[in-house]
Structure 1
Amino acid sequence: MTTIPTPAAAPEQAESIDTTELAEVAGHIIESIEHVIDGKHDQVVTALTVLLAEGHLLIEDVPGVGKTMLARSLAKAVDGTISRIQFTPDLLPSDVTGVSVFNQATREFEFKPGSVFANIVIGDEINRASPKTQSALLEAMEERQVSVDGGTYRLARPFIVVATQNPVEMEGTYALPEAQRDRFMARIAMGYPDAASEVEMLGARDTVNPIESLEPVVGLDTLRQMMAGVRAVFTSAAVKQYAVAIARATRDDQDIRLGASPRATLQLVRAAKARAAIAGREFVLPDDIDELAVPVLGHRLLPTSRALGKQHETTALVAEVVQRIVAATPVPSGR
Structure 2
Amino acid sequence: MWLPSSGFLQRTANLRKYPLRSCGRYLSYTATESIAPVNLHYDKLVPKDGNATDRPLVILHGLFGMKRNWLSLSKAFLRDLDMPIYTLDLRNHGTSPHARPMNYAAMAVDVLHFFHTHSLTNVSLLGHSMGGKVAMSVALSPECPSDLKHLIVADISPATGPLSPEFSGYIEALKKIESSKVTNRKEAQDILKPYEQDAMTRAFLLTNLKHQGHEHLPLEFQIPLEIIGDSVPDIGSFPYEPGERTWEGSTLFIKGTKSKYINDRNIPVAKQFFPNMVLEHLEAGHWVHAEKPNEFKHLVTDFIRTRQ
Same-fold call, TM > 0.5? no
* TM-score normalised by length of structure 2: 0.28
Determine which structure has the larger helix proportion and give its number: 1
Which protein has greater RCO, CA pairs closer than 8 Å, 6+ apart? 1
TM-score by length of 1: 0.27
